Each structure stands twice: as C-alpha cells, then as structure tokens.
C-alpha cells in the first residue's frame, strides 16, 4: 500500500526535526507540503526538500511538490485557493490507484491547518491524520519523538452508518454492501448482506452454501440461528424440487413470492408488485387445483419440471405441443371447483382487475403504469391468500430479514 503525505509547514524553524522524523518513520511514497511566502517557512521547506531528495531519493515534480498559499490567515481565501489548486485532483488520482492519504496539519498557521483539515475531511480526501508527540520546548516537539496515527475510517463510517441502516431497512442490501466495502470492517456484515442479496435474487443454491457465523450480532441485531433456519428451508426446498415433491415446492415458492411482494410494495415498486402477485396467484391456484382438489386424473396434468399446468389433451395448432394454461383459465377453474367462492364475488372481480392491469403494464404487453392503489390491492389479496395457506412465517415474512441495525460494536 503506497502512502501520500500532505503536510503543513509553520514559521518555527525547530519543526524541521519533527518533519524529518515523520518522513523517516513512515517512508511515504509521495509528499506535498503546504507553504506560505514567509521566509522561515520557505527556509524550512528548503531543508525538508533537500533532506528528502538526498535521503529518500524523491524527485520534485514527480513524488514531491508544494502548494503555495498567498493567504495564511483568511479562511475563505484559503478555501478558495484549495479549490483552485490541483490538490483535490492529485489526491483522487492517488486514491483511485489504492494509495492511502495522510495529513500532518500540526505545523502551519491555525487558519491554514484548520481549513486544510476541514477541507480534506469534508471531501473524504484523507484517510489518516498523523502527528509527533514528545518532549516540547516552547510548544515545539524537539526530541523523544513518538509518532501518532488516527484512522479516519471510523469517523467516516459513523457518518455513513445512517445510510447503511436506511439501505438495510429498505431491503437495499446491494447499496449497503457497496457503501461498507469502503471500510475494512471485522466480522460478518459483508457475508450477511451478500446472503440477502443472493436470497432476493433467487440464487438459492448459492445461498444454501453460504457460511454465516461469528460476530454478526455486533452489526445487525439478529439471531444468527434465524439465518440457519432460512438455510434449512432452502435446502428442504431444493431437495423437494429435486424429488418432485410438488406440494412442498409450491408452498416454499408462494412464501418466497409473498416476501418479494411485500418488499416491492415497501419500496414503492408498483409494476413489480403486480407482476409478482400474478406469479404468486399462479402458484396458489395451481396448489389448490392440482393438489387440494386432486384433479390430476381429470382435466389437467402437472408439469413438475417447469412448475406449470397444461391441458392433458390440448395441443397447439401451430407447434403441436401442449400449451400452458393461462392464469385466467386457472382462476375460472378455481371458482368452479371452490364451493366457498362464486364468480361474481367482490374479491375475484378485484383479482381479475389486478391481472388485467398487470397484462396491460410494461410487464405484460402494454404501457399502463400501476399506481400505489393497484399495489395496495395486490398486497391485500396476497395477504388474504397467504393467510389461507397457513404457511409458517418468521415475523412479518416467510423468510427472515434484518430490520434493526446498530453500530455500537463495530471495529475497524
């Protein structure tokens, strides 16, 4: 890891010992000194430049340069000079290469040191603050040098953590992961977020193999055993799918779509809610028609491989192959065989309304954009059907999702 030092230089000539010590101790790969036109500052700058050129073989213009401030006491003018300089660009280019940026701001005027610290921290341009402690004379460290380093990652993380919490609570695990990847965190927070990213993407094989454990409770207030329960559900689902256990497969998939519908509604993804509702309803009707109503030997057969329904004798006039039964036909058949429901019932009129809007949306063959009212209706119907299934949930969801996050025990 290469290191880039940005350092102020003050008027006291005795600071040269500290400047040399810092350079020798850390052996930076690049230097930029912030100076003024003051004679003492210029003399000290010349001394440190000669020292680095002779002892560390730095080359001016390549890995050694300076930024000259014309104003040393005016905050606004100092800020303007920082903005007009190439320093920000130079730092960003170094950070893009993986360099770490260090700031030693202990030697310049209070105005320059304070504004430089504020400017670099506010723009996330510095990673570490360094300084030298030891025996002092007239406020200047002259011997018994002891280097100190402060890692600003903790500070930045605390500023970002509200965003991380917001992302996790709104199920934007990918955004949370992208943000925390900037920090070298200990523990399992990355693996937990990655776990949920894959889960919501339907990558069940990968999720079932993921290892989660250790210190996850330090980051997300959840019981790690809950995640193991999810993994067990996934493994049982994959086994059921392999063995063509249609009832177990359909129950799991209904639960999974139930979660996705609730999450999409929470995120105001209205077209997605209607599309997912139709997938959920398709599985619900399939479950009732072919498993609960035992119609396998009558009008329909079940295609286990594609979790689909086809007419036993109906073939396409074009391809000669069996064709899938549409959702509308499934709904009609459900109404016909379900004694509790009638074709004119209010709920099923609303179901047809949702299906029609989905078909006319961008997920179907039209340009209708579903609104909040459409999504709320689809969610309410989903809740009603899911309740009828009596499928065991974990809290509000079929699978477990973290909702309460804290920063108290994070270590860097």
- Clarify whether residues 271 and 228 are in a common domain: no
In a domain, 156, yes or no: no
- % of the chain at pLDDT higher than 90: 29
Q: Is residue 411 part of a domain?
A: no
Question: Do 20 and 95 have their domain in common?
Answer: yes
| CA max distance for the chain | 100
The answer on 252 and 290 residing in a single domain is: yes
- Give residue 305's domain range: 244-405
Query: What sections of 64-182 are H helices per DSSP?
Result: 75-84, 87-96, 110-122, 153-169, 173-180
Is residue 158 over pLDDT 90?
no
- Give me the number of domains the chain comprises: 3
The answer to whether residue 410 is domain-embedded is: no
Indicate the average pLDDT of the chain: 79
Percent of residues in the chain assigned helix, strand, coil, to nearest 5: 50, 15, 30
Strand partners, 103: 6, 129
Q: How far is CA 276 from CA 262, 271, 333, 389, in A?
A: 10, 9, 21, 17
Dihedral through CA 243, CA 245, CA 250, CA 251, nearest 10?
-110
- The residue among 98, 116, 151 that closes a domain is 151
Label residue 291 by pLDDT band (50, 70, 90): low
Whether residues 9 and 117 share a domain: the answer is yes
Annotate 65-103 with b (16+ C-beta within 10 A) or e (fewer).
Answer: bbbebebbeeeeebeebbeeeebeebbeebbeeebbbbb
- Within 10 angstroms of residue 346's Cβ, the number of other Cβ atoms is 7
Tokens of residue 5, six digits: 């030092």
Among 239, 264, 291, where does a domain finish? 239
The pLDDT of residue 321 is: 59
Judge if 39 and 142 occupy the same domain: yes
DSSP string, 267-291: TT-HHHHHHHHHHHHHHHHHHIIII
pLDDT tens-digit readout, 300-341 = 444 433 334 444 434 445 555 555 667 777 777 777 666 554
Rounded to the nearest 5°, which phi and psi values hold at 290?
Answer: -110, -10
Helix intervals (H) in 243-326: 246-266, 270-287
Which pLDDT value is given to residue 325? 65
- What's the pLDDT at 318? 53
Report the 10 Å Cβ neighbour count for 111.
16
- Would the pLDDT of 58 be above 90? no
> Does residue 157 lie within any of the structural domains?
no
Q: What is d(CA 411, CA 83) in angstroms, rounded to the nearest whole number? A: 34
């Amino acid at each position: 890891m290469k290191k880039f030092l940005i350092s102020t230089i003050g008027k006291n000539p005795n600071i040269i010992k500290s400047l040399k010590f810092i350079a020798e101790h850390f052996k930076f790969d690049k230097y930029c000194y912030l100076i003024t036109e003051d004679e003492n500052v210029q003399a000290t700058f010349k001394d440190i430049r000669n020292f680095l050129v002779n002892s560390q073989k730095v080359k001016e213009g390549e890995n050694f340069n300076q930024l000259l401030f014309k104003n040393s006491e005016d905050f606004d003018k100092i800020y303007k000079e920082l903005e007009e300089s190439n320093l920000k660009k130079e730092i960003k280019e170094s950070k893009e290469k993986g360099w770490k940026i260090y700031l030693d701001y202990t030697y310049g005027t209070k105005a320059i040191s304070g504004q430089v610290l504020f400017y670099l921290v506010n723009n996330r341009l510095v990673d570490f603050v360094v300084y030298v402690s030891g025996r002092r004379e007239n406020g200047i460290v002259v011997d018994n040098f002891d280097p100190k380093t402060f890692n600003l990652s903790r500070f930045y993380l605390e500023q970002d953590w509200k965003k991380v919490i917001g992302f996790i609570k709104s199920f934007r695990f990918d955004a949370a992961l992208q943000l925390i990847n900037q920090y070298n965190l200990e523990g399992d927070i990355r693996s937990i977020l990655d776990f949920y990213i894959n889960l919501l993407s339907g990558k069940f094989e990968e999720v079932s193999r993921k290892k989660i454990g250790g210190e996850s409770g330090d980051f997300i207030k959840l019981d790690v055993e809950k995640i193991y329960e999810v993994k067990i559900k996934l493994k049982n689902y994959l086994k059921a799918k392999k063995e063509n256990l249609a009832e177990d497969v359909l129950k799991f998939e209904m639960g999974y779509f139930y979660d996705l519908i609730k999450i999409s509604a929470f995120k105001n993804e209205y077209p997605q809610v209607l599309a997912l509702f139709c997938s959920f309803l398709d599985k619900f009707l399939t479950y009732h028609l072919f498993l609960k109503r035992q119609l396998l030997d009558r009008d329909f057969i079940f295609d286990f491989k594609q979790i689909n329904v086809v007419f036993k004798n109906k073939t396409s006039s074009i391809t000669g192959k069996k064709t899938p039964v549409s959702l509308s036909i499934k709904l009609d058949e459900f109404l016909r065989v379900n004694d509790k429901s009638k074709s004119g019932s209010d709920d099923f009129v609303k179901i047809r309304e949702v299906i029609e809007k989905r078909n006319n949306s961008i997920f179907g063959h039209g340009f209708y954009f579903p609104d909040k009212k459409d999504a709320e209706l689809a969610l309410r119907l989903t809740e009603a059907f899911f309740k009828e299934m009596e499928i065991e949930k974990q809290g509000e969801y079929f699978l477990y999702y973290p909702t309460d996050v804290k920063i108290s025990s994070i270590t860097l």
